[in-house]
């Protein structure tokens, strides 16, 4: 539970933002007073539900805890869109004043558009978030790739966030799709959970059904550290995945060596100094030459150190691709890459948009993905 002063400050800001939406939108709605009263009641309910959803993990009783989470997180998604659209509306109205284009009709229809568009985006976002992630195919060109590794496939899943609104059935569907890809290797690049092993072990159990020729590998994300990373590392190992903690394994594929390494989350040292993320340490003891060196690293901002260490490919997640507008514009403030395949010197970095979602069950403009990466030789 956050400190009382933090709760008071956050609640005050939340109240002011809800009041701002009501002040700027409700008076201009071209509807009767009963609709405006309904709008006020909705904003009051939203103000109450948003913090309830965020703090629902403190409620021990089930299914009350999960129901609070669902209600609060749906409200948070709707509130986010209402706030953004209200700000955009004010920008439009302000711009209309300059050339004298402002009118009551403009104020009325833009006021009506705010809740209508917010509702539409929230519904579409919910559908996108709850469907099984689609498979995204990515070819990664590797210089001097041995013929035996042409077409070597990696299935990557990331940022599933099993917790209050994502349960066993959701993960079961993901595992079935991944197994259907018949990949050579499976990479799970962090943020698997939002909650304790005691609460979620039954829901993460399908992870143990992942099947690939060279096995499944896991690295910690920041959310594992919010949920007792040590307990989750032990649980994931119990399920049969290989957890790579600044370590590597050597694989032999059709007679050719391939190195797969994994590092702890970029911020792991803030929770446990012995877990400091270190791509160089992940290569300790490796032979002088292997055909390809692959690094699993939850956050894209590990890329500079990975490039310095000499990796060929880094697989990351964390960003969710922004998850829904306009947060995709804020990701570059913290991460070098938002989504997709990018080049950093001789290192390729692939950033997954994530296979689940965090917080509001909402994805808009940043679809979830199960990634099938294929190593291919460079052309020419």
Tell me which residue of 315, 335, 327, 316 sits closest to 359, measured CA to CA. 327
Q: Any idea which residue has 């990634």 for tokens?
A: 371
Give the pLDDT confidence score for residue 211 in this predicted structure: 98
Give the pLDDT confidence score for residue 364 in this predicted structure: 96
Tell me which residue of 289, 288, 285, 309 sits closest to 297, measured CA to CA. 309
Whether residue 292 contacts residue 261, with contact meaning beta carbons closer than 8 Å, is answered with no
Tell me which residue of 6, 86, 92, 1 sits closest to 46, measured CA to CA. 86
Q: Tell me the residue length of the chain.
A: 380
Give the pLDDT confidence score for residue 31 in this predicted structure: 77
Q: How far is CA 128 from CA 1, 106, 120, 370, in A?
A: 31, 32, 12, 14
Tokens of 257: 């060596």
Whether residue 379 contacts residue 139, with contact meaning beta carbons closer than 8 Å, is answered with no
What residues does each domain of the chain span?
A: 4-130, 134-377
pLDDT digits (tens, 9 = 90+) for 268-304: 999 999 999 999 999 999 998 899 999 999 999 999 9
β partners of residue 185: 154
Cα–Cα dist 163/60, whole Å: 14
Give the pLDDT confidence score for residue 61 in this predicted structure: 86
Cα–Cα dist 210/157, whole Å: 11
- Burial of 293-319, coded b for 16+ CB within 10 Å and e otherwise, reads bbbbbbbbbbbebbbebebbbbbbbbb
Element holding 376 (H helix, E strand): strand 369-377
pLDDT digits (tens, 9 = 90+) for 131-157: 999 999 999 999 999 999 999 999 999
Q: CA-based diameter of the chain, in Å?
A: 76
Q: Dihedral sign, CA of 352, 355, 359, 365? A: positive
CATH of domain 134-377: 3.60.21.10
Give the pLDDT confidence score for residue 367 in this predicted structure: 97
Peptide bond before residue 326 is cis, with ω within 30 degrees of 0: yes
Where the chain has pLDDT below 50, the residues are none
Give the pLDDT confidence score for residue 352 in this predicted structure: 98
Tell me which residue of 206, 147, 161 sits closest to 361, measured CA to CA. 161
């Amino acid at each position: 539970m956050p400190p009382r002063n933090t709760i008071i400050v956050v609640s005050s800001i939340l109240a002011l933002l809800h009041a701002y939406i009501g002040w700027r939108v409700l008076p201009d709605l071209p509807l009767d007073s009963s609709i405006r009263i309904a709008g006020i009641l909705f904003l009051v309910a939203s103000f109450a539900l948003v913090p309830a959803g965020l703090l629902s993990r403190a409620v021990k009783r089930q299914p009350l805890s999960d129901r609070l989470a669902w209600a609060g997180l749906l409200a948070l998604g709707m509130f986010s869109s209402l706030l953004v659209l209200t700000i955009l509306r004010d920008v439009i109205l302000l711009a209309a004043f300059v050339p004298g284009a402002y009118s009551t009709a403009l104020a009325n229809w833009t006021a009506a558009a705010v809740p209508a568009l917010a509702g539409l985006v929230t519904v579409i976002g919910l559908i996108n978030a709850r469907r099984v992630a689609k498979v995204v195919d990515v070819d990664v060109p590797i210089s001097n790739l041995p013929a035996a590794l042409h077409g070597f496939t990696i299935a990557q899943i990331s940022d599933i966030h099993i917790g209050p609104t994502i349960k066993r059935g959701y993960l079961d569907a993901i595992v079935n799709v991944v197994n259907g890809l018949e990949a050579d290797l499976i990479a799970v690049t962090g943020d698997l959970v939002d909650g304790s092993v005691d609460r979620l072990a039954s829901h993460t159990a399908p992870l143990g059904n992942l099947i690939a020729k060279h096995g499944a590998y896991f690295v910690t994300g920041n959310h594992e550290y919010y949920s007792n990373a040590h307990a989750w590392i032990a649980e994931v190992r119990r399920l049969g995945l290989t957890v790579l903690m600044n370590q590597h394994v050597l694989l032999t594929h059709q007679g050719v060596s391939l190195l797969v390494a994994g590092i702890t989350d970029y911020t792991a040292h803030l929770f446990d100094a012995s877990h400091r993320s270190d791509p160089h340490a992940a290569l300790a003891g490796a032979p002088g030459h292997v055909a390809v060196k692959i690094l699993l690293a939850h956050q894209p901002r590990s890329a500079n150190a990975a490039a310095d260490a000499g990796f060929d490919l880094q697989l990351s997640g964390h960003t969710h691709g922004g998850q829904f507008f306009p947060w995709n514009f804020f990701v570059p403030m913290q991460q070098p890459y938002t989504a997709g395949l990018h080049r950093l010197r001789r290192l390729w970095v692939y950033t997954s948009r994530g296979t689940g979602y965090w917080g509001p069950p909402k994805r808009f403009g940043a679809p979830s993905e199960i990634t099938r990466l294929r190593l291919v030789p460079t052309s020419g």
